[in-house]
Structure 1
């Protein structure tokens, strides 16, 4: 069967990050298949996603909430009607077990081959897996004909945490978000000694390690600027722990340091490119990880990631090729790696060029990534 003959329906998650992933792979698939995309209604009104929606045939529904139960049911019935008319051969759920609302389509899932992409097979942001996620994971473990994850660590964790029996798990890279380059209109020169820490202030990101690393860099007497662009949010359950006070203490240190620039706010999409264009090094002292959106953005701009080797970061970052990997907790080695890059601009340039090349080849949605999806679909349809 030729790929354009494949009739696929892609389900997309409600959170912006997961929606961006689902819509990115949908756009790549749209060139090769007959495709419908099912999205929660909030995604269709998110202006930051407009460019990813405009070429797709989208079917939207109301998210399930207590106040909109009737509207949700009516909208879901409409989705069922359109899907039955379309009669897809295969379903791809791109947001994994994150959204309980997607089980509204359970009767439809029962009668079609199904692929599920799982981004977070291990709970890193909360102390325990929520009841809703347990239910959704259980249902998908019995419904899915195949799972997709973004690296060997995620594959191991998925097999460990969910009883998959004989369900195959395929590793396919998370694509690079090159649309940030298109959004970024700022003419910014790269600073050879600028380091960027970017992302939410969650415990997995290693924000609390920044003072230790700064002290080590100071001891080396090298010129550097550390830009900390951090979204001040974390899981609500952490408010009753030591985390808020630890963040406050760390923030006080950073804001008082002459070589640190702090942007303690949510960074909108159109501003993201400015930070990555300017920074030569992306700092990732993570305590834990699955994959990393920050890494994919950094590679897209040719920034060099320096990271603790946790989760699947080692699957995305090829040591001494497109970045530097350091054993978790080895702050001396991480600082030494940064110092070596700042002192050797030729090596920095080589890694930067490799990072950009890697994002345009291995992390290209329209190349190897979409081809692996099409091959997987065809394998299921041939059964």
Structure 2
């Protein structure tokens, strides 16, 4: 059976998710795999080729500033999707797997296609146009894959005709990675617990909410802000922390973090904070990494987050976008850390066993067999 996987992005969690899934599936002798993509490094190509996965790279095209605007982005996505489907026809592919359907909902309905498709949806869209399009979907041949029960419920609420399969997000293999030194992370000689905000400083991830909450925190803590600058830049962060109390130290590393280094930051800190806004709507790779690394977490009461915390007792839930409650949660974690840490470690063992990349791929293979 010939499979074509499609995603133009191979940064961060994209690369981990895509490569682990394809490499594990490639072990099935009955499958022949090609990967249609655009932004991919030579090293990444070599990794896939060593596992008998053919890589087809789309043209880079125009990278002008116009592509940052939504209309031009959608046009670019349409071109990429159209090229991918031409390749699928030429290669006589049996099954097309869109690894990031979130980006191509509009394009999916614009392009006439006859091939069977699995659409992986990491986020349930908030965009009214995309929701409307999904509500009209009536193709029983294709399957949608989501990663939380909450996402499955929302998708079925939009359109009960959609066939949705829930598959928990895989966790990384964290054995044997090279740990960063305390000096390189800036953790040496710090007092109190070190808590991590990880990921791009986008508006939906609520870094500004966290910075406001720090003004009210009474415990001795260190906050690590690690990730690529986005909505909230370095200047904004520096201005926000000018008047925080001396018991709090903020350390920033505002750069893109290579995937092979991600877990090192979770390993070297004591807990993780997710100050996300109410409209955040999808699986969180940050939460997944915190869970597998056995780190206590502070999460808002949105989507599936409370269900996880209530199940494992490995963190604290606070009212979303409530600065006072977030500050209180940080103080509670700092004061009662050992209790949450032990629970987080127990949860880690279960999650690693159940959600390994190989188990994830095996379950995905079962889905592939449903649409043969």
Same fold (TM over 0.5): yes
Equivalence for 1:265: 255
Equivalence for 1:151: 148
Equivalence for 1:54: 50
Alignment partner of 1:186 out of 177, 180, 187: 180
Equivalence for 2:214: 214
CA distance in 2: counterparts of 1:9 and 1:306, whole angstroms: 40
SS in structure 2 of the partner of residue 28 of structure 1: helix
Equivalence for 2:368: 377
Instruction: Indicate conservation of the 8 Å contact 2:125/2:131, yes or no.
Output: no
Equivalence for 1:115: 118
CA distance in 2: counterparts of 1:140 and 1:14, whole angstroms: 24
Instruction: Indicate conservation of the 8 Å contact 1:299/1:358, yes or no.
Output: no
CA distance in 2: counterparts of 1:118 and 1:14, whole angstroms: 15
Instruction: Indicate conservation of the 8 Å contact 1:115/1:144, yes or no.
Output: no
Matches within 5 A, 1:94-173: 94-99=99-104, 109-112=113-116, 114-123=117-126, 128=127, 142=139, 145-161=142-158, 164=159, 166-173=161-168
SS in structure 2 of the partner of residue 42 of structure 1: coil
Change (3 A) 1:255 1:203: same
CA distance in 2: counterparts of 1:136 and 1:96, whole angstroms: 13
> What's the offset of the Cα at 1:215?
2.3
Equivalence for 2:8: 14
Matches within 5 A, 1:159-308: 159-161=156-158, 164=159, 166-178=161-173, 182-187=176-181, 193-218=193-218, 222-234=219-231, 248-254=235-241, 257=244, 258=246, 259-287=249-277, 288-308=280-300
> What's the offset of the Cα at 1:201?
1.5
SS in structure 2 of the partner of residue 37 of structure 1: strand
More helix by share: 1
Change (3 A) 1:30 1:317: farther
Instruction: Indicate conservation of the 8 Å contact 2:227/2:254, yes or no.
Output: yes
Change (3 A) 1:58 1:343: same
Length, aligned pairs only: 345
**TM-score between the two structures when normalised by the length of structure 1:** 0.74
CA distance in 2: counterparts of 1:80 and 1:8, whole angstroms: 12
Q: Deviations over 1:185-242 (max 9, x none)?
A: 4355998711011111111111111233212322xxx2211111131124xxxxxxxx
CA distance in 1: counterparts of 2:145 and 2:87, whole angstroms: 29
Q: Any gaps of 5 or more consecutive residues in structure 1? A: 1-6, 235-242
**TM-score between the two structures when normalised by the length of structure 2:** 0.76
CA-based RMSD: 3.9
Q: Any gaps of 5 or more consecutive residues in structure 2? A: 64-75
Q: Deviations over 1:246-281 (max 9, x none)?
A: x85443122665511122232233443332111111
SS in structure 2 of the partner of residue 262 of structure 1: strand
Instruction: Indicate conservation of the 8 Å contact 1:62/1:76, yes or no.
Output: no
Q: Deviations over 1:123-146 (max 9, x none)?
A: 4xxxx56x8x68996897647522
> What's the offset of the Cα at 1:292?
0.6
Instruction: Indicate conservation of the 8 Å contact 1:198/1:230, yes or no.
Output: yes
Instruction: Indicate conservation of the 8 Å contact 1:184/1:272, yes or no.
Output: no
